[in-house]
A and B are shown apart, each in its own frame.
Chain A
Amino acid sequence: MENLNILIVGVGGQGVILASEVLTLVGIKAGFDVKKSEIHGMSQRGGSVSSDIRFNKVKVHSPVIARKSADFLVGFEKLEALRAIDMVADDGIIISSNYRLDPMTVSAGSMIYPDDVEGIVKENHEKTYFFDHVETIEKIKNPRAVNIYILGALASFIDIDKEIWIEVIKSRVPPKTVELNLNAFEEGLKIGG
């Protein structure tokens, strides 16, 4: 693996930033040059959030991922995954939660949340993996560990030693939650089979 572009999307407050921090450290430990970029500010108030993470064996120039060149699109919310679908490379992989969080435009009744977002994403992109938000929380026993579960899912497709992931997760989550998060990570790993 020479380089890797990962785009994480979600809604402010969902844990996108922590997931991207972990991913960045994993890349560095695995010997890559890593750059990441995200937009802060107003996006913290329940707006769309995205984080671009790029690994390269030699050097990353721009931390910003170009259109149709994300190897992975990771969605914390399904509408946000759909919104970013143009960013995925043709042979890239989409991993997304089927969680639905209505934007204000929808909850106030002025716009419509499309029916069957999952179906639309799958129809437009072959390699797509959705996981069920509610079932996952039941399995991993804590809604706050969903971001680590998603990292597990991502790790199942990426050729980086599992131990590196575990080491970084241990260093980044609150000490009391290490076991819970590692369990969530292991559950996520099952996605790629």
Chain B
Amino acid sequence: MSKEMMSGNEAIARAAYEAGVKVAAAYPGTPSSEIMENVAKYDEIFSQWGPNEKVAFEVALGAAFAGKRAICAMKHVGLNVAADPFFTASYSGVEAGFVIVSADEPGMHSSQNEQDNRNYAKFAKIPMLEPSDSQEAKDFTKLAFDISEKFDTPVLMRVTTRICHSKSMVELKERKETGLNEFPKKNTRKYVVIPAHARIKRVMVEQRLKDLAEYAENTDINRIEEGTRDLAFITSGFSHNYVKEVYPDAHFLKLGFTYPLPMKMIRKFVDQHKKVIVVEELDPFMEDQIKVAGINVHGMDIITNIGELNSDIIRNSIENTKDEVNDIGVSIPVRPPALCPGCPHRGVFTILREQSVRVMGDIGCYTLGVLPPLDNLDWCVCMGAGVSMVQGLEKAWDDEHADKIVGMVGDSTFFHSGITGLVDIVYNHGIGTIFVLDNSTTAMTGTQENPATGKDIKGKPATRVDIRKICEAVGIKEIYDVDPQDLDALGEVVAKALASKNPTVIITHRECILLPLRAKVKFTPLKIDTEKCIGCKSCVSVGCPALAYDKKLRKTRVLPELCVGCEVCSRMCPKSAFTKNGEPLVYEKRHKIRGK
């Protein structure tokens, strides 16, 4: 049996392989994206990116109805999108094992909120498992398929960023083929969820919870780790590691199966100790249920429910201490992420700022447009809202401000939930202007394919879904195609679209710079003629990491190792100080606009 160093995400993918999964689907989202990227490496599994989490969920559920094991994966907010089928799949149950992986993000390293998706398990009455490392991520995922089949239910695997992206040793096993040998027979009372059938299932779901609670009492993934010192903890997920690190000799009730909770086991453990502290990341999910059962424990009265935990927080909270702050006497400038040098979105934000446009944003790399110096995003909530919220923003003032508002989605989020918003604008007398920033990839999560790229998850050719044709079919009469690095053309298009009284879509076409960089395409970096540079900072206002402004010399420098020569910055220069291949870069039209 071989062992391999694996991230939690790789381990979950391996589990899908070993458990005989036939169909797997996901929508990319940090920290979950690598699960499906790794599943896609196994030819035995049909894997795919869905256009959104709801579709991915339903594809997988369909396979489970058809008698083959299936898995779907998403980031925490993705389960909000897939919540509709999630709740009802709890009633229908499955023909073969069905596992949903929710990758939560305590600390919000790249997320818009910190929701604790364990609540979904309780909410939908679906069993849940929480691994603490990569080996458990693999073992628990495989166990989840068995539980799913044994109790006729979907199973939720709740992982967090540190599980997904930490690496540790995992023991590999062979794949075992599973699932039905024949296509299942018709079973409407189970699989057609009309009220009459659902009322019967409703009762069965409650009984299933009781049976699952009994299972939780006896499974070995809920276990006691005896200690030698007078300290006792109930832990789950990654928090277990932090506590074990600080108090290796304490008593632990380590829970891997965390919904429904093994209340008898918990009561017995608590009775044996003077004081028991529940340590969990985010909500007091276990603590509240334990207290409702009349068992006296501590938890969030000692340890915070905000952000990612770590061993320092655990120690300081329990011992009531504070880290001494080491004052080094200088302030260290923060290093936020930024749009890459050569990013096609840079030109869009530059023009929108120039025309003082308010921007309804969306989730993707372009969300970085909010950061200085671009500083040109006004609102951002979730995927797709970059289209639909424009309608509300404009109608709230009877379209009075419509000539100064644009919405924004990417190619991937256009398919995710942008199309329905467009339909709404067309249908409900909207006149909004919507940007579709088509960079031929799902960039922020690591350049995954999407329906517009013409390739599937394995990189094989697939039918390309045409964004422009969808806009036409929806009823958008004014559609503009433009290169976002051609600032003149872009500026004209934006002015025209905003003046229009029709709903308008502007599709920007230029591939994400990471794609040619990865293909090792050679670029010619720009240079600056320092004699001509007057230090006006027009160029650095586009927020490019390849430019450095020297405050003392009052000149801009180009970092040749980063510059890809996209010429967005040089178009801003009033003195034509930039050169490429020794030739000065002059843009006459551009300078006229800027002169106005």
Number of contacting residues on A, CB 8 A? Answer: 50
Closest residue of chain A to B133 (Cβ to Cβ) is: A35
Q: Which residues of B contact A104 (CB under 8 A)?
A: 335-336, 338, 371-373, 543, 545
Closest residue of chain A to B75 (Cβ to Cβ) is: A41
State how many angstroms separate the Cβ of A91 from the closest Cβ of chain B.
16
A83:B338 contact, CB within 8 angstroms: no
If A11-B335, A63-B162, A108-B541 touch, whether A42 touches B330 (CB-CB below 8 Å) is no
If A66-B310, A66-B311 touch, whether A35 touches B166 (CB-CB below 8 Å) is yes
B340 in the interface (beta carbon within 8 A): yes
A177 in the interface (beta carbon within 8 A): no
What sequence of 0s and 1s flags, for each residue 315-328 of chain B, a beta carbon within 8 Å of any chain A beta carbon?
00000000100101
A25: contacting residue among B5, B109, B161, B166, CB under 8 A: B5
A46:B30 contact, CB within 8 angstroms: no
B166:A63 contact, CB within 8 angstroms: yes
State how many angstroms separate the Cβ of B122 from the closest Cβ of chain A.
27
Whole-angstrom CA separation of A143 from B560 in the bound complex: 13
State how many angstroms separate the Cβ of B331 from the closest Cβ of chain A.
8
State how many angstroms separate the Cβ of A20 from the closest Cβ of chain B.
9
A186 in the interface (beta carbon within 8 A): no
A120: contacting residue among B241, B328, B365, B543, CB under 8 A: B328
Whole-angstrom CA separation of A48 from B109 in the bound complex: 12
B5:A67 contact, CB within 8 angstroms: no
What sequence of 0s and 1s flags, for each residue 92-133 of chain A, a beta carbon within 8 Å of any chain B beta carbon?
000000000011111111111110000010001000000000
Stretch at the interface among B15-23, B204-212, B242-250, B402-410: B242-250
Q: Which residues of A contact B168 (CB under 8 A)?
A: 34-36, 60, 63
B110:A120 contact, CB within 8 angstroms: no
Most buried by B among A12, A104, A107, A114: A104
Number of contacting residues on B, CB 8 A? Answer: 55
If A63-B166, A63-B168, A124-B328 touch, whether A47 touches B537 (CB-CB below 8 Å) is no
State how many angstroms separate the Cβ of B415 from the closest Cβ of chain A.
21
The 9 nearest A-B residue pairs measured at CB: A41-B110, A45-B337, A47-B337, A103-B335, A111-B333, A62-B241, A41-B30, A37-B166, A108-B373
User: Could you list which residues of chain B lie within 8 angstroms of chain A, going by C-beta atoms?
Assistant: 5, 30-31, 109-110, 133, 161-162, 165-169, 238, 241-242, 244-245, 248, 310-312, 323, 326, 328-340, 365, 368, 371-373, 444-446, 537, 540-541, 543, 545, 547-549, 551, 561
Known: A36-B166, A46-B335, A61-B241. 7 other contacts (CB 8 A): A40-B30, A44-B337, A47-B335, A104-B545, A110-B373, A112-B551, A114-B333
